[in-house]
Structure 1
Amino acid sequence: ADLHTDPGANHAAIDAQIPHSLATPMQPTISSDGNTIYIPAFGSSRIGVFSRTELEDPAFETNYLPAIQSADYLTTSGGGPSGVALDEINNRLYVTTRFNNSVEVIDLNGALPPQIHALHNPESQKMIDGRPFLYDSVLTSGNGEASCSSCHIFGDFDSLAWNLGDPDNPISTNNQPQPDPVLEIADPTQPFHPMKGPMTTQTLRGLSTHGAMHWRGDRADGFFGTDPCTQPGYAESNSTNAPCDETPAFKNFIVAFEGLVGKNGTILDAEVHQFAEFMLEVQLPPSPVRALDDSLTPDEQAGSNKWFSCGPNTTECVQLDPLATDTVEDCDGCHSLDPLNGFFGTGGEQSFEAEPQHMKVPHNRNMYQKIGMFGVAGNQVRGTGFLHDGSVDTLKTFVSGGVFALNPQEEDDLEAFMLAFPTDIAPIVGQQVTIGPDNFNVADVNSRISLIDDQAGSSFESAVLGGAVTACDVIVKTVEGGVEKGYYSANGGTYTPDDNGPAVTEAVLRAKADPVGDAQTLTYTAVPPGSGLRMGIDRDEDALGNGVETNTGTFIDANDTGSNPALADTDGDGFDDGVEVAAGSDPNDAGSTPAGIPVPLLAPLSTLVLGGGLLVAMRQALRRRRSG
């Protein structure tokens, strides 16, 4: 039978609050006279509307009646309103809705129905389908005010510790291996006790390669069963996979919808699968501490050397090895750093570490986010620090613990390295710089462009990005002859334009900003490797550059196709635009389709840069045609 921790709660009344909630409020906008405030509630798909008089009333919280006040709220159909802009001349509110990636226009006079303007969205369907389960408080909670993102803020963490032990739960099975047989002898694996004590909120980003979840890894056992933690590719050394499977571990969080956010029942099995597919795609950002060229300072390098003191990540310390950082292993012996196989501080195993209960070895990619307890009296930035319960104030304190055999300088070096720990994405990704006639000769601007270009040709390892890749792609945006134009480079040095024109060197491209020449303004951006083609020159990935898709509706030739640069299949006939142009049919006319197998006849853009994409587009188009 169901047991309620609060048997006196009126659950019908709790559920009745859902239509009036304003969960996860975002940046508001205020009318020019200061009398009306519009608050987008990301988790409730509503816009709260309040008057200044209401909010300035000292008795506002006492007098506020959601069931009455919510009559003024505005509901968005797209879900996840993330921002609002007020057009007071036309009395309209423009709302960005993240769940459907659109802009919704609301007529504040109420005379017109909302208008939905869909934005181009390159995301996969599983990202679109799974996102609401992180944020939607109406869908996932008991009273509409909480969601997973209430603690895992935008998929990250809240810097709080929670004691979520449940004495009614049974002791559960723990199949996680330890990273060294010596540890298993010293303290054999323990089952998971339901009274686990306080644990800090962990990030939900970067879960896809690190095995079981929670500080103890206890989601390896749960609602959907017990993971034997024997994934193919796992070994005590030189693993290519964590021992436990991430997907069932994440799906075992299904109990949190009822147990933590108070939903009456839980979401469907199929829905938690959608949530898992979404969340396991979300990654941590590049390290903001690490140098943009991915190099290390002398202190960080010394810390890295100490991390691998017994040798590379496939080398284990020998018994009583004097090179070990503790009595058994070097740091990497437990906190595996092997980017090629997706390990950034953990191989997904557990260790006892002289704690009352075994803990999964955690990753180390976001240590810089946890700075804020300073180990001295006075104001603190955070109430929690490091370790599972947040009780350790600094990394220096952690590595000076009795289990380690380090001198003070080695402790400092390891702290420096951990704060600059690598992530799945190179530090250069996301960097952007604009050059134009006004700053053409500024040294810092030019050196940053050179750095971005150099990094596009630098090697980088990341399992989630495909293994051995480059640090970034580079895209450049400008305006030439009054027309927007893009360039793209996968390896630096040479840049392909979006209009079938010839490739140019980076030097030639940068010279376009010369005030005595073209005097153009160019913006360089380092983007994740593999995404530059889409972001730079072919947004709809149809094997036609943005510059030739003129959106006129009239096909002239391969350099002026008339097709829509934001739609892969402009005329909706089942063939992508690039396939149609290659085969000689009109991408703007559904009655004009390729006959037989398309022949790639595109100009240099497709043959030199988009050849692989064109073949994929052809195969996809043919499959759609045959299945339709």
Structure 2
Amino acid sequence: YQKHLGNILMAMSVNPADGKVSVVGTDATNEIRFEPNLNGRFLRVNVSQFNAGGSNAITDLNPHLDYLTSSVPPATREQSIGDPRGIAWLNNGSKAYVTGMGSNNVITIDANGARVGGAPIRVGQGPTGIVLDEARSKAYVLNKFEGSISTLDISNDKEVARANFFDPTPMVIKAGRVHLYDTHKGSGTGHISCASCHVDGKWDRLAWDLGDPSGVMDTVDNVVFHPMKGLKTTQTLIDIIGRGTGNLHWRGDKDGLIHFAGAFQHLQGMDQPMDAGSMQEFEDFLANTWYVPNPFRTYRPENGPAAARERIVNPNRVRYHGTTFQSVQSAGVSLFVAVNVNCAHCHVFNTGRGDLPGQGNTAGTPNIDMTGNENMAADLRATYRKIGFFYDGPSTAGFGLMADGAFPTNFNRLTTNNDYFGDYENELLSWSGGLFVPNCGACDNFPLYHGSNDAGPAVGHRRTINGAIGSAADITFMKTLANDKPSEYGMIVKGIYGGEHRGFYYTGSDTYQSDAAGETMTHAQLINSAQAGEPLSWTIVHPSMAVRAGVDEDGDGILDQDDQVAMVNVRATMNGPFDGTEMKNDLQSNGVLPSVDPYGFGVTANPDVLAQGGSTAPVDWAVVELRDNTNPAVIVATAPALVQRSGNLMAPGGEQTIVFPGAPAGNYHVVVRHRNHLGVMSFSPVLLNSPGTMVDFTKPATPTWGTNAQRNVNGTMVMWSGDVNGDGLIKYANSANDRDLVLLEIGGAVPTNVSAGYLLEDVNLDGQVKYAGQNNDRDMILQSVGGSVPTAVRTEQLP
């Protein structure tokens, strides 16, 4: 093993020229005490390099930061990389590309790990994987959060294309996760975020002393808390909202997520606390996170000796050398609720989470004196993740099970008398995955229950049959699980049926609903078809996901086989708000972007969509049209859309794919129109029959109808701005010109007046109409007609 490479290691690549290993990740400075000393600088983003058996060379990937202050100017912040997730080397070993999932960019390093090149390459939200195609001088970056793939030209390290793919992620996740991961939005230095410690919403396996010697006493729920907190291990954020009657943090000193808003300023270096709207998005996101299936649980989550023996292959193993269980393996849950001062007095049985510190018992249990307790009763569902991989050996995590990191990972050494904690091991390691009264008979005496987001142990279990490969008995076992546990397990089938890609979900009684309305199949029919050579895969899912994952991928209520309608992904940029890199979202920032489209469709946007930030923030409403493939003057279908800062158009519900329910899949000319910009149309019809089709009007290589349909601004094609009266012409002078309308909007007499709001005369979309002065709208009209001849006219290139 190569040691001391960093705390969180995210991605690894081998330099093909010299065989040196490079690992990108982060390293915490938790040896430094107190929040004021850590503010904005508690972490480094590094690349660690070594040859086999050699020493480590660790290089900071943010050399522009001196870590002397908690905040730097925005331009400096934009240079930072945060939460690195991918690395790929050129074949000659001279340069590598590193993706920053938190910073939405890609940087380049030389063979020694030093930053090279100019500014980072801006890509879509959440870049993770990257692959190089040197034969074509290209790199491809997966932007996981945005649902897109960026194409980079590695001859000049520029993004040259971006293609969307279908992404079923719910909007509550898309809107909220930016507050967990985004290092530019969530910090003063651009390289840290909540996810720096709460890695992927969980933890960094470290303890921190975040006390403040200069702080003041704080009273929460009539309990007074000292500002010196002491050493506390990082806690998971998964499914913490609304669980139990207790507060948040080990001490219970936060009675809601909103009270963590100050941490964005006092720990992450933001210029101000996070606003209430963003904190609500963050809370909604965390409320929709789930515990993944527990690897120690049986597929059938009943309690009892048989199930307990399944939970650990060798039931006599415990997490310490030479010890054995001291009673039958089902004893753990009995002890949890049976001894005089038992665990269930403080730990609610389904999550383990308890009440406020010092109050001891949970509702419905006898009063006990726990006044010496200074911490919340912890959620027990993540206990197994704190245990080392090996049974026989010391902890390698650095910090143990308790709030301050005490107690290594062996259960029999937790008590003074070295006694019965080994009996708890099966239960504690198996806690996540759902404990309910029906499958935990011993819990009947403790009815307090507050629900939990726990995926059952069999969720994700998949088996395939392809001719003679695969077992029908395995599939039948999965069907039995779905029959016996319908509230915990659903089942879907995907693959080839009747020569086509099809989907199904299990409805019970040996019957499956297909992805075509009114069509059902029996279990035997699907098995027989797969055994005849048309491969099918059966997967256990949560029952709430069976319909969408099986037969309705876009969740519109129309089954996939029947949903053969036109759909398209579109990118377009408007010249008015374009700053040379992305469009500005001033209408949103100034609170004037309407929630209902301004084109008369009567469509209301999802509030979470309107509140999105970063590159996905909405700039303004637009209209997407489909036109007849033989007569492009004929409009076949229209749909309102919101234009993001990045240029991606999204549906009002947040989906990146614009769907036209009334238009069958086929070939269409695609048009984007805007209320005060000239529209643009694809030159040739485009086949629209899948959610992966992209029409990118921002690229010069995309053919468009007519002549000079758009303006080229440093390699980005933008829609002409200034058609204030919507007549398809941009005119600065003469009759029916657009300039005069700007003057009339501000009063018609005093050219320095300003009107604010969502107005057609606001050509640059900054929320203000200005005829004179800096950033005025009149000049944009003149620039669109050429900038020198005021009588020139710009005509929309649409038939």
CA displacement, residues 275-302 of structure 1 (integer Å, 9 cap, x when unaligned): 2221221122121111122243155532
- The one-letter amino acid of 1:101's match is G
Post-superposition offset of 1:213: 0.8
- Counterparts of 1:104-503 in structure 2, within 5 Å, are 104-109=150-155, 114-175=160-221, 191-210=224-243, 211-220=246-255, 249-295=256-302, 296-297=307-308, 299-309=328-338, 323-324=339-340, 326=341, 330-338=342-350, 344-351=351-358, 358-372=374-388, 380-394=395-409, 396-397=411-412, 400-401=415-416, 408=419, 410-423=420-433, 424-440=454-470, 445-459=471-485, 470-491=487-508, 493-500=510-517, 502-503=519-520
Task: Name the SS for the 1:453 alignment partner.
Answer: helix
Task: Name the SS for the 1:507 alignment partner.
Answer: helix
Q: 2:531 aligned with 1:524, yes or no? A: no
- The one-letter amino acid of 1:212's match is N
Residue pair 2:71, 2:189 contacting (<8 A) in 1 also: no
- Distance in 2, Cα, partners of 1:261 & 1:124: 27
Aligned to 2:552: 538
Task: Name the SS for the 1:129 alignment partner.
Answer: helix
Residue pair 2:495, 2:502 contacting (<8 A) in 1 also: yes
Residue pair 2:329, 2:423 contacting (<8 A) in 1 also: yes
Post-superposition offset of 1:513: 2.2
- Distance in 2, Cα, partners of 1:294 & 1:446: 23
CA displacement, residues 389-410 of structure 1 (integer Å, 9 cap, x when unaligned): 11011362476357xxxx94x5
- Distance in 2, Cα, partners of 1:112 & 1:425: 42
Rate the CA distance shift 1:571–1:301 in 2: closer, same or farther, 3 A. Answer: farther
CA displacement, residues 338-396 of structure 1 (integer Å, 9 cap, x when unaligned): 4xxxxx112444346868552111111011011139999x7631111111111011362
Post-superposition offset of 1:14: 6.9
- Distance in 2, Cα, partners of 1:486 & 1:11: 52
Post-superposition offset of 1:212: 1.5
Rate the CA distance shift 1:174–1:551 in 2: closer, same or farther, 3 A. Answer: closer
Task: Name the SS for the 2:254 alignment partner.
Answer: helix
- Distance in 2, Cα, partners of 1:151 & 1:416: 29
Post-superposition offset of 1:490: 4.3
Post-superposition offset of 1:200: 0.3
- Distance in 2, Cα, partners of 1:286 & 1:165: 35
Residue pair 2:79, 2:119 contacting (<8 A) in 1 also: no
Post-superposition offset of 1:204: 0.5
Unpaired segments of 5 or more residues in structure 2? 1-34, 40-66, 310-327, 361-368, 434-453, 568-625, 627-635, 641-650, 652-660, 666-799
Residue pair 2:81, 2:103 contacting (<8 A) in 1 also: yes
Q: 2:88 aligned with 1:29, yes or no? A: yes
Post-superposition offset of 1:12: 6.8
Aligned to 2:762: none
Q: Number of aligned pairs?
A: 466
Residue pair 2:71, 2:270 contacting (<8 A) in 1 also: no
TM-score normalised by length of structure 2? 0.54
- Distance in 1, Cα, partners of 2:105 & 2:73: 19
Q: 2:122 aligned with 1:75, yes or no? A: yes
- Distance in 2, Cα, partners of 1:490 & 1:198: 51
Indicate the percent of aligned positions where both proteins have the same amino acid: 27
- Distance in 2, Cα, partners of 1:269 & 1:527: 35
TM-score normalised by length of structure 1? 0.67
Rate the CA distance shift 1:491–1:392 in 2: closer, same or farther, 3 A. Answer: farther
- Counterparts of 1:573-588 in structure 2, within 5 Å, are 586-588=662-664
- The one-letter amino acid of 1:198's match is L
Post-superposition offset of 1:72: 5.9
- The one-letter amino acid of 2:122's match is T
- Distance in 2, Cα, partners of 1:587 & 1:51: 51
Task: Name the SS for the 2:128 alignment partner.
Answer: strand
Residue 523 of structure 2, aligned match among 503, 506, 523 = 506
- Distance in 1, Cα, partners of 2:374 & 2:355: 13
Post-superposition offset of 1:500: 3.8
Residue pair 2:84, 2:98 contacting (<8 A) in 1 also: yes
- The one-letter amino acid of 2:268's match is V
Comparing 360-369 with 299-308, greater Cα deviation is found at 299-308
Q: Which has the higher helix share?
A: 1
- Distance in 1, Cα, partners of 2:561 & 2:98: 39
Aligned to 1:84: 130
Post-superposition offset of 1:489: 1.2
Post-superposition offset of 1:478: 0.9
Residue pair 1:455, 1:471 contacting (<8 A) in 2 also: no
Task: Name the SS for the 1:104 alignment partner.
Answer: strand
- Distance in 1, Cα, partners of 2:521 & 2:499: 20
- Distance in 1, Cα, partners of 2:333 & 2:510: 31
- Distance in 2, Cα, partners of 1:436 & 1:359: 54
- The one-letter amino acid of 2:271's match is N
Task: Name the SS for the 2:284 alignment partner.
Answer: helix
Rate the CA distance shift 1:373–1:169 in 2: closer, same or farther, 3 A. Answer: farther
- Indicate the structure (1 or 2) with the bigger Cα radius of gyration: 2
- The one-letter amino acid of 1:90's match is R
Unpaired segments of 5 or more residues in structure 1? 56-63, 177-189, 221-248, 310-322, 339-343, 460-468, 554-562, 564-569, 577-584, 590-628
Residue pair 2:85, 2:101 contacting (<8 A) in 1 also: yes
Rate the CA distance shift 1:381–1:5 in 2: closer, same or farther, 3 A. Answer: closer
- Distance in 2, Cα, partners of 1:573 & 1:72: 37
- The one-letter amino acid of 1:458's match is D
- The one-letter amino acid of 1:421's match is W
- Counterparts of 1:548-559 in structure 2, within 5 Å, are 548-551=562-565
Rate the CA distance shift 1:333–1:37 in 2: closer, same or farther, 3 A. Answer: same
Aligned to 1:615: none
Rate the CA distance shift 1:363–1:112 in 2: closer, same or farther, 3 A. Answer: closer
- Distance in 2, Cα, partners of 1:131 & 1:550: 32
Rate the CA distance shift 1:446–1:348 in 2: closer, same or farther, 3 A. Answer: farther
Task: Name the SS for the 2:273 alignment partner.
Answer: coil
- Distance in 2, Cα, partners of 1:9 & 1:366: 36
- The one-letter amino acid of 2:546's match is G
Residue pair 1:500, 1:548 contacting (<8 A) in 2 also: yes
CA displacement, residues 477-530 of structure 1 (integer Å, 9 cap, x when unaligned): 11134421111114473211113463222232122222xxx2121111111111
CA displacement, residues 171-225 of structure 1 (integer Å, 9 cap, x when unaligned): 222438xxxxxxxxxxxxx5222112100000000112324211111112xxxxx
- The one-letter amino acid of 2:406's match is S
